[in-house]
Structure 1
Amino acid sequence: MLKNLLSMSGMNVLKSGLQFAMTVMMTYFAAPAEFGLVTFSLPFVGFIALLTDLGMSSAMVQRPTLDRNDAGAAITLICAIGLLCAVILAVISAPLAAGLEMEGLGSVLATLSISVVLSIAALGPRAVLERHLRYQVVASVEIIAVIVSVLTCVLGAFLGWGVWSLVAYYVVVQIVRAAAFAIIARKDVQLNFQWGRVRSILTFGGWVLASNLLNFAGRAVGNVLIGGAVGAAAVGLYGLAYQIMILPLMVITWPGSGVLMATLSRQAAKGSLQERNQIICGVLSLTAAVVFPGMLYLTFGADYLFTAFFPAKWTGIIPLVGLMSIAGAAQSITAYSGAMLLSRGKAQLQFWVSTANSISTIVAFVIGLRFGLIGIIKIYLAVTLIVSVATMLITSWETKLPVLDLVKALAPATVATMLGLVAANRVMEMAATPKSAWMLGTTAYVLTIAISYLLFHRQLARSLLGLRDLELNKERVAAT
């Protein structure tokens, strides 16, 4: 399992690093309003991808048996529905742009509909590879796709494509993914139109779909509400801050959740509850150890970084990043609840948990609109922290993971980060300039966390070694 986690996390570190570097570069070639066009369009693209998937890709990974014909039937059904939905999106793009009075939105949205079909075509073959725990292959494909698409975006930016450089990125990355996954998984898939075969997949997948749609609604509502109420420039600022907030989810939690669900699903038949809980606590502990210090650093480090390295037109993002980084840290742990529940077959409970989370988020944004962009984010942060605690308590109870074990798993990262913030803020008060304050604060923060982790080294080592030992037994786990 450790090798799979490292493969997916390493892939996402490189992927997210390239994407973020590309985004920083594009701030010099595009204004916030242009970013806003793409940011506003992506929720529509993502919604169709989730709707079309019908939860079948997760069901394909989780179910005990899956033959070539079952996989082929599921893939053709997904692609057929996806093509229809993409056509509908392209048709409504112009009227939508006119209704919202966003110049250029129609053409951007219509072009991105192409990426919808390609993204959907990649879902099934990738799920087949994940089912066989071939995460190193998946990681390789994702890295190649991002490298090719980032190079395309950079070339387009220097050729003067403007916002179309970003659009090209999203289209090209899906072209590479769809082609590569289809070729690699071809021996495990027999395409056919016997859609009656997918009934059992749809039964489980329906609850997954409902949960995914609700989670998506909770994440996408910000773009839509801010864009409609405040304008493209505001949604551009929020969109970039949101990309920073979800970096730990993209790099660690989302790929880690896939590995965790696949491993726990294979482990369920023969593994003990104690072994299961050790796996979960190990993943949570190591995730927190990396994410908490990195994200909460932005609560004091973002000011200087964005002032020094970003164009002046983007300075409005600084307070957003400081607040949203805290939410990102909390969500990096909460997002594992889905894998924990689904691996136990509790798809209905996952749906209700997602319902509560999404409704809370939507209500927070609706209430916050009257207080401006900063007010929205403050309310969103408060709701996120409350919902995160409640979600993990429910998940812990339902999966028979002792709350004390959960607290112990998160303790090293939480204590180290809090001490680091205290040390950083103390030394920054003694600095004469913003640059010296940033340097002193960063140094104190890093040293404090390093010393704290040395004190917690036994617990962190147990988490790491536990996942390594599971890797040594992967043949037994995969065979169940």
Structure 2
Amino acid sequence: MESNKQKVAGGLFWSYGERIMAQLVSLVVSVVLARLLDPENYGVISIVMIFITFCDAIVSGGFGNAIVQKKDADELDVNTMLCCSVATSFFLYVIIFFAAPAIADFYDMDIIRPILRVLGLRLLISGVNSIQRAWIQKRMLFRRFFVSTSFGTVISAVVGISMAYRGMGAWSLVAQYLTNSFIDTMVLLITNDWKPRLQFSWRRAKSMLSYGWKVLLTTVVYTIEGDLRSLIIGKQFGSADLAYYDQGKKFPNLLVTNINTSISNVIFPVLSKSQDDLNRMRTICRRSIRTSTYLLAPLLIGLIAVANEFVQVILSEKWLPCVPYLQILTLVFLVRPLTTTCQQAIMSTGRSDITLKIMITVNVTDVVLLLVAVFAMKSVLMIAVGALLTEIVSLGLFMKYVKKCIGYSYKEQVLDIGPSLLVAVSMGIIVYCVGLLELKTFFLLIAQIVIGAIYYILVSYILHFEPFEYILKMVVEKFRK
């Protein structure tokens, strides 16, 4: 048991380290590029990324998860899934290449055609990268993620910012995305003891895809749910409105995706190995939810409280229209880590059919709310509100089924979420009140952040918050080693 605890703690340490480093660099890059580029440039890339993200979800969706979920996966299994992944990525790139002119005509933007064809090359890289990451994730060698992400993020940041300074507009973002994916994959290829080989087994493929196709379809449905909003905003309201919406989503997404990915990468393989021990699965699930809530609640609620000052200082006043989107979408991302952990627990029991059914239900709900917001209310802001309502419905369904699958009761779920959330809300109120002071915007933002951080940490220490003490102990032990 102690060995497993050490693996989880070590995995979380390196996975968090990787995500935090990537988050900091991405934040700097986003700020610099937002100041150098116009909202219209961001809008073009946002439209292109709708199609790239959808195809990427297909490539990265079920193949890697099938490797992680299978208890005794060997190199033949990995190479079989690699063949499936690469073949799928190549097929999707061909579709993207020939569909690019029609997509450009649909949005009446000629620049979309070449950008889509070039950025689509990322799919070919993802076909290999997703399998590399699954193999490393299964073996819980998360330090390798830290190294590959460090190189990829820093080098791509230099490339993107350099091109933006030279006035290359949307192409600077294209170069940043492609460079990041390529460097990450090459570093993993060098550091990973598994090397791709031309091996394939129909029997293994059939067995693993019986699980993987449900995860794949779940991922695709989830991606459609998220990208459909951007697709419609770009067409109905224009690239500038889409840029404001996406910019409002970017910062909470940056925080949550990084921490969420860290937890998912560590928790899923551990849960899969413990699928015959429901008590252990429940314990791991509770640890994940307590930790993610403790870390994310103050960051996201604090972001809502300082949204206006944050946008003015970090992005400049030209991005102020994104503030209401940022505040509403931050609430969406506050709910998401809880949903993800419950989903991982259900999938680890082998019940990918349940997650698929839930996501179909959620997707139908989302489409209905989206159509009402677009055609009845004609409001981008109401699209954001609809996203929040959809996320709440999703959380409710996953909480219901995680109770059935591993016995994680509603009472336990509330007790794991409640304390951190209450302290974070009280911190948010204090931070918002500080924002009413008559100070220059920059100094006001600094004061809000410092006071909020001191309050949250101090209350955690005084009340002996279990997640606070767990994280502190984990960090101290790592540095002692």
Q: Is the 8 A contact 2:369 2:386 kept in 1?
A: yes
2:100 matches 1:74:
no
- Name the counterpart of 1:163: 170
Q: Kindly state the Cα deviation for residue 63 of structure 1 after the two structures are TM-superposed.
A: 0.3
Between Structure 1 and Structure 2, how many residues are aligned? 468
Moved more, 419-428 or 327-336: 419-428
- Name the counterpart of 2:63: 56
- Name the counterpart of 2:347: 342
Of 376, 396, 402, the match for 2:403: 396
- Name the counterpart of 2:367: 362
Q: Is the 8 A contact 2:88 2:127 kept in 1?
A: no
Q: TM-score, normalised by structure 2?
A: 0.90
Secondary structure in structure 1 of the residue aligned to 2:408 = coil
Computed over aligned residues only, the root mean square deviation of the Cα atoms, in angstroms, reads 2.5
Taking the aligned partners of 2:473 and 2:455, their CA distance within structure 1 comes to 26
Alpha-carbon distance change, 131 to 116 in structure 1, aligned in 2, over 3 angstroms? same
Secondary structure in structure 2 of the residue aligned to 1:246 = helix
Counting only pairs closer than 5 Å after superposition, residues 194-343 of structure 1 correspond to structure 2 as: 194-269=201-276, 272-343=277-348
Q: Kindly state the Cα deviation for residue 93 of structure 1 after the two structures are TM-superposed.
A: 0.5
Taking the aligned partners of 1:154 and 1:224, their CA distance within structure 2 comes to 27
- Name the counterpart of 1:38: 45
Taking the aligned partners of 1:438 and 1:246, their CA distance within structure 2 comes to 20
Q: Is the 8 A contact 1:71 1:190 kept in 2?
A: no
Alpha-carbon distance change, 234 to 400 in structure 1, aligned in 2, over 3 angstroms? same
Taking the aligned partners of 1:432 and 1:162, their CA distance within structure 2 comes to 35
Taking the aligned partners of 1:416 and 1:458, their CA distance within structure 2 comes to 11
Taking the aligned partners of 1:86 and 1:461, their CA distance within structure 2 comes to 45
The one-letter code matched in structure 1 to 2:98 is V
- Name the counterpart of 2:457: 450
- Name the counterpart of 2:135: 128
2:431 matches 1:424:
yes
Q: Is the 8 A contact 1:131 1:262 kept in 2?
A: yes
Alpha-carbon distance change, 154 to 381 in structure 1, aligned in 2, over 3 angstroms? same
Moved more, 44-53 or 315-324: 44-53
2:201 matches 1:191:
no
Alpha-carbon distance change, 138 to 439 in structure 1, aligned in 2, over 3 angstroms? closer
Q: Is the 8 A contact 1:59 1:204 kept in 2?
A: yes
- Name the counterpart of 2:3: none
Alpha-carbon distance change, 155 to 429 in structure 1, aligned in 2, over 3 angstroms? closer
Q: Kindly state the Cα deviation for residue 175 of structure 1 after the two structures are TM-superposed.
A: 1.4
2:33 matches 1:23:
no
Q: Kindly state the Cα deviation for residue 263 of structure 1 after the two structures are TM-superposed.
A: 0.8
Taking the aligned partners of 2:442 and 2:171, their CA distance within structure 1 comes to 36
Q: Kindly state the Cα deviation for residue 150 of structure 1 after the two structures are TM-superposed.
A: 1.1
Q: Deviations over 1:74-119 (max 9, x none)?
A: 2122112211210210111112101221231111111111111111
Q: Is the 8 A contact 2:349 2:405 kept in 1?
A: no
Q: Deviations over 1:44-75 (max 9, x none)?
A: 11221222346111010110122222221221
- Name the counterpart of 1:99: 106
Taking the aligned partners of 1:297 and 1:62, their CA distance within structure 2 comes to 36
- Name the counterpart of 1:118: 125
Moved more, 409-418 or 384-393: 384-393
Secondary structure in structure 1 of the residue aligned to 2:199 = coil
Counting only pairs closer than 5 Å after superposition, residues 148-159 of structure 1 correspond to structure 2 as: 148-159=155-166
Taking the aligned partners of 1:16 and 1:166, their CA distance within structure 2 comes to 17
Secondary structure in structure 1 of the residue aligned to 2:197 = coil
Taking the aligned partners of 1:23 and 1:436, their CA distance within structure 2 comes to 21
Q: Is the 8 A contact 1:148 1:172 kept in 2?
A: yes
The one-letter code matched in structure 1 to 2:322 is I
- Name the counterpart of 2:386: 379
Taking the aligned partners of 1:460 and 1:197, their CA distance within structure 2 comes to 41
Moved more, 447-456 or 88-97: 447-456
Secondary structure in structure 1 of the residue aligned to 2:378 = helix
Q: Is the 8 A contact 2:281 2:406 kept in 1?
A: no
Q: Kindly state the Cα deviation for residue 191 of structure 1 after the two structures are TM-superposed.
A: 2.2
Q: Is the 8 A contact 1:118 1:174 kept in 2?
A: yes
Taking the aligned partners of 2:434 and 2:106, their CA distance within structure 1 comes to 52
- Name the counterpart of 1:174: 181
The one-letter code matched in structure 2 to 1:122 is N
Taking the aligned partners of 2:77 and 2:146, their CA distance within structure 1 comes to 25
Q: Is the 8 A contact 2:305 2:429 kept in 1?
A: no
The one-letter code matched in structure 1 to 2:76 is N
Taking the aligned partners of 1:115 and 1:309, their CA distance within structure 2 comes to 29
Q: Is the 8 A contact 1:119 1:177 kept in 2?
A: no
Q: TM-score, normalised by structure 1?
A: 0.90
Q: Is the 8 A contact 1:16 1:250 kept in 2?
A: no
Q: Kindly state the Cα deviation for residue 329 of structure 1 after the two structures are TM-superposed.
A: 0.9
- Name the counterpart of 2:5: none
Q: Is the 8 A contact 2:346 2:401 kept in 1?
A: no
Moved more, 139-148 or 345-354: 139-148
